[in-house]
Structure 1
Amino acid sequence: MNPEKNQHQDRLLVSYILCGVGFFGLGGLHRLYNGKIGTGLLWLCTFGLFYIGQAVDLLLVPSMVDEYEANLRLKAGVSPFGVPLNEPTAIATQVHSPTGNQLMIKLIEVAENRGGSLTVTQGVKGTGASFAEVEKALKEMYKSGYVKIDNDPITGAVTYHFHEL
């Protein structure tokens, strides 16, 4: 048996038990359990509409359970057949990434905040651009003579020093 069928059977069993409890003075609990708040409170206050409504509900419990489960599926965005109703919409994962001179200016600002030196990873974190874009921009700045390349003595990471900052 699949889990959905088990859950349906469990909800049906609990609903019948709560309906049976209604004959002992707590009518309407099965309706509250299946999301019918208004009539559940009415049944609770009137002893299941003087036990007549409680007796009729013994026949209506399966349809109440089916209706409640259908409402749950709709709230979850799933059709009665288990197919998603709405396709998920794609969300932009990358915000405007600076290019060209904008990227170089952003890298200079990040380096200035870090004491004049910077690694590729720090540049990526500070600008939001990709590793390849940051590395390309830093190498271009190296070729132009704006930065000096060195290795960090502790980590060994390639560090770009902006000697004019």
Structure 2
Amino acid sequence: MVKYHRAWLLILAWEKIVRYNLTTAYFLWLISGFGALGFHRFYLGKTGTGLLWMFSGGLGGLGSLYDLITLPRQVREANLAYAAREAIGYENYSQGGGFIPNMRQPETPERVILRLAKANNGMVTAGEVAIEANIPIEEAQRQLDNLAKKGIAQVRVRSSGVLVYFFPEFSKEDTDFVD
């Protein structure tokens, strides 16, 4: 029962994301010869049946009559499909009816290092980078060493003996190091 209730809450949340309007759909149905040209179907993203309606006169008027009765449900389904695409990140919906995912590029280890340095007052360890970037610690060490060779970071040793890569541009103060 709880899962059923959660599903309805999810549907209600999706319904707040509205792209398609029932009034607009009925207006397009009306101006397309009472649905015979299928403009309302193109509007709802149903390109295939829109073409079928256009070339068959709304399936001889029977499809147009069907649409007159079921248009509210079709608009609701189109809005739910749109909300679902938005929720899972498929923002670039192609005209061909397929999905083109809006894939995020994984963050580069260098960017992870700089983000960590900014968040940690300019100090980063190889372990922190390995955890955040989801890379082996050897790779994290190599990336940090490359930045140190470029002069972007300085290798320092904490009083506890831990190697810390220090990024002066992100530091507020220069303390707790043994030079």
> How high is the TM-score relative to the length of structure 1?
0.48
Question: Highest CA radius of gyration, 1 or 2?
Answer: 1
With a CA cutoff of 8 Å and minimum separation of 6, indicate the structure with the bigger relative contact order. Answer: 2
